Amino acid sequence: MKSIRSFSITFQAILFSFLLLLFCNTAPTQTIDCSGSSKSGNYQVYLDDLSYANVSLSNDGQLQNLMKRLSFKLASNVHALTLESTPIPLTVAYCEGRKPRGEGDFSENLVDALDDNNVILELWGQLDATTQNGSISNRKASICYVLVPVLLDEFKNPHKPGLQFALYPKDANIQSGELINLLEESIELEAFVAVGIGVNLLKNKKYDEAMKYLCKAQIILRQQHTGIAEVKQNALNDYIKQAVHKTVIDARSDPNYTGSLIDLVDENNPCP
């Protein structure tokens, strides 16, 4: 039973890696500099361009419309997060013309450089559809996320919890017009930002605040209706669990720390 389950997890990992490659690797790469990036020391979310998986799709009116709405929706979703009070302000960097392909474009050096610039998340999207006899159907969107601090810490992890993607619609019967509504319901973006902030705070020895953000991410990702694949979500959950545990251990061993984590009873489950 155990081996079947392990095979199933491996199969899922391969399948989703394949899908990730398929949806995040088809467009021509363009990892140009992010023009909207700043050196203010704020936490940054890089919002890259959306693109079509295939150039011929760019003439499809419905996809064009979807592209505009999706760009706006993503920008407003990210912007909404910046309005929340964070220990260090969160800003959105609009990276015009920047279109990474996927995992291959993110070398360890590049991820390290992004981390140096306090970039906690980079995301971009692609629109795809099936073309048959000149008619376009089965329109779908995929959003790729790079959780910079997570990818840097877990660069050698085969499940790559720092590299996530969400495919819409999850159900093939859903019409493309409903994609935006699905994105509206998506809660993973909030979780990814929370993880990025939490890990950065932990590395800056701000343990109580780090715990708050890591727990927030854990609670969001425990819910079932995120748009990300189960195997990737589990890998990220494991990473967050370890980060939460490390926060408690580091806080207790830090002679300058005097907060509430010292008296915590259950150090393995500190989140509510």
Partner 1 sequence: MGDLEERVKRNENDILRERLDTLASDVKELKTKKGVLSAFKDLALILTPLIIAGIGFYATYSIKGALEREQLQLSHLKEMRELMVKLSSPNTELSEAEATAVLLAAFGPPAIVPLIHELQADSLNRPLAAQEGLKALAFSNQKMTCEKLSQVLRSRTRLFKWETHKNVIELLSDMDCTDGLTVLKEFKTILESPGGFEKYSNLVRQAPDQKNFDKLVDKVKTAIQTLEK
* Residue corresponding to tokens 């629109």: 127
Single residue of 114, 121, 147, 251 touching partner 1 by CB under 8 A: 114
- Which part of the chain contacts partner 1 (CB under 8 A), choosing from 7-15, 34-42, 232-240, 244-252? 34-42
| Contact call for residue 117 and partner 1 (CB under 8 A) | yes
Looking from the CA of 200 toward its CB, the CA atoms found within 13 Å total 27
**Under 8 Å between Cβ of 231 and 159:** yes
Report if residue 263 touches partner 1, rule: CB under 8 A. no
Tell me the C-alpha distance between 124 and 21, whole Å.
14
Report the distance separating Cα 235 and Cα 111, nearest Å.
Answer: 19
Tokens of 89: 């302000």
By CB under 8 A, is residue 33 in contact with partner 1?
A: yes
Out of 14, 55, 80, 113, point to the residue binding partner 1 (CB under 8 A). 113
* 81-100 binders of partner 1 (CB under 8 A): 97
Copy the structure tokens of residue 76. Answer: 């407003």
For partner 1, which stretch binds (CB under 8 A), given 10-18, 105-113, 179-187, 263-271?
Answer: 105-113
What residue ranges in the chain does DSSP mark as E strands? 43-52, 90-95, 119-132, 135-147, 163-168
- Binding flag, residue 110, partner 1 (CB under 8 A): yes
Q: Is the dihedral of CA 208, 227, 105, 44 positive or negative?
A: negative
Amino acid at the residue 104: G
Among 14, 15, 32, 249, the residue binding partner 1 under the rule CB under 8 A is: 32
CA-CA distance, 60 to 74, in Å (whole number)?
21
- The contact mask relative to partner 1 for 166-205 (x = CB under 8 A, - = no) is ----------------------------------x--xxx
| By CB under 8 A, residue 77 contacts partner 1 | no
In the complex with partner 1, which residue's Cβ is closer, 153 or 188? 153
Residues that bind partner 1 (CB under 8 A): 29-35, 37, 39, 41, 97, 105, 109-110, 113-114, 116-118, 200, 203-205
